[in-house]
Chain A
Amino acid sequence: MMTPTSPHESAGEYVEAAVAHHQASLLRYAARLVGDLDRARDIVQDTFVKFVAQPRAAVAGHEAEWLFTVCRHRAFDVLRKEGRMSRFEEGQAERVRSAEPRPGVELEQHETQSALLALIDTLPANQQEVIRLKFQSGFSYKEISRITALSVSNVGFLIHTAVARLRRDFAALPR
């Protein structure tokens, strides 16, 4: 009952594989953009609906990038429609809220992850997005550039700035 292993799987299998492969990371990405999971599900659903409508040749080889790009557009459509775009844009200028140092709390090794996550949440929204695309979804600068329509050097600068601040804030946490 082994499926023959040619890359010429059926369209159904192709879509199924793409869904299985990317839905979780897309959902996570969308949820971060719009801030809630139910809406994110709809966005991811819409994204796959569009994916199915694509000729395979148009997406083959860069499925992830294509999906994230469409997902991002869709998420911003939703935010715009709901008048929530400002939520995302205000982050462009400066941090939304400051890191809350936790005086007296000893930072043990096992707290590293939650501390880092808390610090990421204090970054401007656009920096958060590229940091997540790079370190959570595993995209390269170039791929992030195509997903976000930013230049590669702009992506590099955002990541650099975010990472520099995370390093600094992380070092400043009480130990």
Chain B
Amino acid sequence: MNEQDTPLSPDDPRLTAYAFGELEESERQAVEAAVQRDPALQAAVRDLRALGGNLASALAQEPLPAPVKARPRPATVRSEFDPPRGARLLRFPGLYYVMTGTAAAGFALLVALRDPDAGKSTKETVRRYEVVLTPPTESGSRSSGTGQASEASKHTGTAGDGASRMAGSRAADPSYRNREDNAFLPVVEAPVSSFAVEVGTEAYADVRRLLQAGKAPPPELVRIEELVNYFPYRYSAPAAEAVVPIAAHLEVASAPWSSRHRLVRIGLQGRELAEGASTTLATDVRFEVEFNPARVARYRLIGYENRSLDRDEARSGSAADGVIEAGYRVTALYEVVPVGEDLREDGSPKVDPLKYTRPGGAGVDPGVAEELLTVKVRYKEPDSDLAQRVAFALVDGGATFEAASSDFQFAAAVAGFGMVLRDSPHRGSASLLAVGQWAERNASFDPGGRRAEFIELIRRAEALVR
């Protein structure tokens, strides 16, 4: 493939390797030149990449050859595969249920609160707590689920009203400027954060186009959440028969650009399309993240500028509730300043610690005190007026960035890249060189060759951006 005019057949193994991002640079360029000349090759590459993506998602769902039999093991084998058959449905009669320290690897515990309060009837309150053991979150973090009875009653009367739902949060906000990064918010003042259900990926295409044309993208064009969500990640979907149509994949590790900070990855994955089922999984969907003030001093939602909702909006149910379809997937990243790390650059405490009031002190159940945050998902099943709630809690196991899953590290690289392009005040030690290294180390899962292409974009940016 050194000659410029080497003919290339659509059935050439080099074309397959090219489509999957597996060629060395010189050969890659030669094949690329051939592809650019020949529409048939372009079609073949498209087909190959589509098949590659299908293979990756099919194989991610592949059941094991034999049913999982529980056997005590020193190192608990976590089963991130085969959730459909492995998922266990447990029922708990109590109103309050906490599970921690499940296993070394931990399980994401999913608690569905079927809240009938939204209905008009005055029938007696029926609460059903169903806990589904789903595939665990990835390494470095431990998740536990908490049935939050108090939360359910607190929200009474606000959740049922979906009449004023607005479609298209972005279209509704033509004047967004997206210039300022979301600031760090103190948990004591703003314990609950929210992020948009519907996220596009157009910004990634814009950034790519500009960089490929040799231009530095203007910062306001760089929407980090759209960059991050452009890439596929290996989040397993809830089992077809699971009560809750959405699974959470929570992970926390050091923020690579600011080692005293923690980076939280929230991945939400909808159920895949099941036979005979509607493509719509849920309507009136809202995501909220509640931070534990005993653990978190301040937090910052990365990206989603002008699209996150404040608490009042969230309560009123008036803005940007979303609809999720089968196969839905979203990723949100939060940078978290742990309690005790809340220092200024010069090392002095930002705020004098309170003498008498301990954040989150009284009334917090010891079982939940160790949790970093809880992700709450509110939704309605299609054709139902009943608001459902699911809560996923995350415990920080103290993982280093290097110990985090490769999807986590790659998503961090994409966010870091966005922060560098935006010249974010929060970029810390992130540089193009650093994000290139984080990305390269974690690019081997690459359906469609998107990660390889991203690494190429970082290289292009090096010539344009400081």
Binding site for B on A (CB under 8 A): 1-3, 5-7, 9, 13, 16-17, 19-21, 23-24, 27-28, 31-32, 35-38, 41, 44-45, 48, 108-114, 116-117, 120, 131-132, 134-141, 143, 153, 156-157, 159-161, 163-164, 166-167, 170
B401 lies within 8 A of chain A by Cβ: yes
A–B complex contacts, Cβ < 8 Å, 25 sampled: A2-B398, A3-B400, A17-B139, A17-B140, A17-B399, A17-B403, A20-B104, A27-B77, A35-B65, A36-B66, A37-B65, A37-B68, A38-B66, A38-B69, A38-B71, A41-B77, A110-B326, A138-B445, A138-B446, A156-B13, A159-B16, A161-B13, A163-B16, A164-B11, A166-B55
Chain B neighbourhood of A110, CB < 8 A: 272-275, 326
Chain A contact surface mostly = helix
Chain B neighbourhood of A23, CB < 8 A: 75, 77-78
Count B-side interface residues using an 8 Å CB cutoff: 65
| Chain B residues numbered 424-446 whose CB sits less than 8 Å from any CB in chain A | 444-446
| Chain B residues numbered 32-56 whose CB sits less than 8 Å from any CB in chain A | 47-48, 51-52, 54-56
B58 lies within 8 A of chain A by Cβ: yes
B79, closest chain A residue (CB): A24
B256, closest chain A residue (CB): A5
Chain B neighbourhood of A164, CB < 8 A: 11, 16
Chain A neighbourhood of B48, CB < 8 A: 163, 167
Partner of A2 from B13, B80, B274, B338 at Cβ < 8 Å? B338
Give 20 new A-B contacts, CB below 8 A, not counting A3-B399, A28-B62, A163-B55.
A5-B260, A20-B140, A20-B403, A21-B139, A24-B78, A27-B64, A27-B77, A31-B65, A36-B66, A41-B77, A45-B75, A113-B58, A116-B54, A120-B55, A138-B234, A138-B406, A140-B444, A159-B17, A163-B52, A164-B11
Contact check, B22 vs A140: say whether CB atoms are below 8 A apart. Answer: yes
A-B contact count (CB 8 A): 157
A110, closest chain B residue (CB): B273
Chain A neighbourhood of B69, CB < 8 A: 37-38
Chain B neighbourhood of A17, CB < 8 A: 139-140, 399-400, 402-403
Q: State how many angstroms separate the Cβ of B446 from the closest Cβ of chain A.
A: 7
Interface flags, B236-268, vs A, CB<8A=1, else 0: 000000000000000000100001101000000
- Contact A2:B396 (CB < 8 A) given known A138-B406, A141-B17: yes
User: Please, how many angstroms separate the alpha-carbon atoms of A157 and B12 in the complex?
Assistant: 9
- Contact A28:B78 (CB < 8 A) given known A5-B401, A143-B444, A156-B13: no
B20 lies within 8 A of chain A by Cβ: yes
Contact check, A135 vs B59: say whether CB atoms are below 8 A apart. Answer: yes
User: Please, how many angstroms separate the alpha-carbon atoms of A44 and B47 in the complex?
Assistant: 36
Chain A neighbourhood of B399, CB < 8 A: 3, 17
A36, closest chain B residue (CB): B66
User: Please, how many angstroms separate the alpha-carbon atoms of A163 and B105 in the complex?
Assistant: 35
- Contact A167:B75 (CB < 8 A) given known A28-B81, A38-B69, A117-B59: no
Contact check, A20 vs B13: say whether CB atoms are below 8 A apart. Answer: no
Contact check, B77 vs A36: say whether CB atoms are below 8 A apart. Answer: no
Q: State how many angstroms separate the Cβ of B331 from the closest Cβ of chain A.
A: 17
Q: When A and B form their complex, which 4 residue pairs have the shortest distance between CB atoms, in order from nearest?
A: A138-B445, A3-B398, A20-B139, A160-B13
